[in-house]
């Protein structure tokens, strides 16, 4: 991931006495859509204002791009990050429950097929409760780009979008997690009735196993859906539950 960040640009580091003390990353998902991520400080240099300085550098660099959005995500237990964000004026706009679990040896459920038609699928996405609950975001691990028609088309071309039923009663986007090792797959979008959820989550295990992946993870946008994930082997972690998406109000 570090190699990718260096190639993309936007990676800043802080030095103290000639030593690397911390880093932070500014990512442009699309023109005007700025994402802040990767803020890390060496434990040996915590309490020295490094995180605050890096966060301010990221923020000022983002503003200089004259974007239409500046966002980032953090765990609810990250009090320091939330404190810095509040001082800068960021506000919570979405809340997810992070769940994960090992890939299980599931039988392939019938009725799942890859999506080919972008236009009809995009109409389904826009009308879905999952799209509204997720505030229009695609949950790619700890990255939350806007789920647009263009991004849906990209996922369809990669063979990452699946439907269940005829006519479709459920929709799944299963993608690699850009923040995690290759062993992780991310349930980036899931919607449908209860039967569809269970079928598509079972399919996610099958698909991940076929691709040699060992874990499934998801950001669940509706709390009551956590039980459906738990039935299928994905549960919240004991040391934190919620992931917050925050945005700076530009208008």
Nearest to 121 by CA among 198, 188, 173, 196: 173
Give the mean model confidence (pLDDT) for residues 117-130. Answer: 96
Rg (CA), the chain: 19
Using an 8 Å Cβ cutoff, are 91 and 249 in contact? yes
Q: Provide CB contacts within 8 A for 149, sequence distance 6+.
A: 118, 122
Nearest to 100 by CA among 183, 29, 170: 183
Using an 8 Å Cβ cutoff, are 174 and 160 in contact? yes
**pLDDT 10s digits, 142-182:** 999 999 999 999 999 999 999 999 889 999 999 988 877 78
- Here the tokens at position 83 are 């404190």
Nearest to 122 by CA among 86, 153, 83: 153
Whether residue 235 has pLDDT greater than 80? yes
**pLDDT 10s digits, 193-206:** 999 999 999 999 99
Give the mean model confidence (pLDDT) for residues 214-235. Answer: 94
Per DSSP, the three-state class of 209 is helix
Task: Check residue 68 and give left, alpha or beta (phi > 0: left; psi -120 to 50: alpha).
Answer: alpha
What architecture does CATH give domain 2-94+242-247?
Answer: 3-Layer(aba) Sandwich (3.40)
Domain 98-236 sits in CATH 3.40.50.300: no
CA distance 81 to 84: 5
DSSP H helices in the chain: 2-8, 50-64, 79-88, 118-127, 129-133, 149-157, 194-210, 226-231
Q: Determine the pLDDT at residue 179.
A: 79
Using an 8 Å Cβ cutoff, are 177 and 89 in contact? no
Q: Which of 42-46, 86-90, 179-183, 223-227 has the lowest mean pLDDT?
A: 179-183
Specify the pTM. 0.93
Q: Determine the pLDDT at residue 146.
A: 98
Give the mean model confidence (pLDDT) for residues 123-138. Answer: 96
- The residue extents of the domains of the chain are 2-94+242-247, 98-236
Quick one: what percent of the chain has pLDDT higher than 70?
100
Whether residue 251 has pLDDT greater than 80? no
């Amino acid at each position: 991931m570090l190699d990718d960040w260096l190639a993309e640009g936007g990676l800043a580091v802080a030095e103290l006495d000639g030593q690397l003390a911390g880093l932070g990353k500014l990512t442009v998902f699309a023109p005007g859509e700025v994402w802040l991520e990767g803020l890390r400080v060496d434990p040996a240099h915590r309490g020295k204002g490094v995180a605050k300085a890096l966060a301010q550098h990221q923020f000022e660099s983002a503003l200089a791009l004259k974007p239409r959005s500046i966002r980032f995500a953090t765990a609810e237990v990250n009090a320091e990050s939330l404190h810095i964000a509040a001082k800068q004026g960021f506000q919570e706009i979405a809340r997810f429950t992070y769940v994960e679990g090992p890939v299980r040896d599931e039988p392939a459920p019938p009725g799942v097929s890859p999506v080919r038609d972008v236009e009809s699928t995009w109409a389904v996405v826009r009308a879905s409760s999952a799209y509204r609950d997720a505030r229009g975001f695609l949950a790619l691990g700890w990255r939350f780009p806007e789920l647009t028609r263009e991004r849906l088309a990209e996922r369809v071309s990669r063979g990452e979008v699946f439907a269940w039923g005829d006519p479709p009663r459920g929709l799944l986007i299963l993608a690699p997690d850009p923040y995690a090792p290759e062993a992780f797959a991310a349930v980036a979008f899931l919607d449908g009735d209860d039967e569809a959820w269970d079928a598509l989550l079972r399919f996610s295990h099958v698909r991940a196993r076929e691709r040699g992946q060992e874990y499934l993870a998801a950001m669940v946008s509706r709390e009551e859906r956590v039980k459906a994930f738990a039935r299928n082997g994905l549960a919240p972690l004991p040391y934190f539950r919620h992931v917050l998406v925050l945005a700076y109000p530009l208008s």
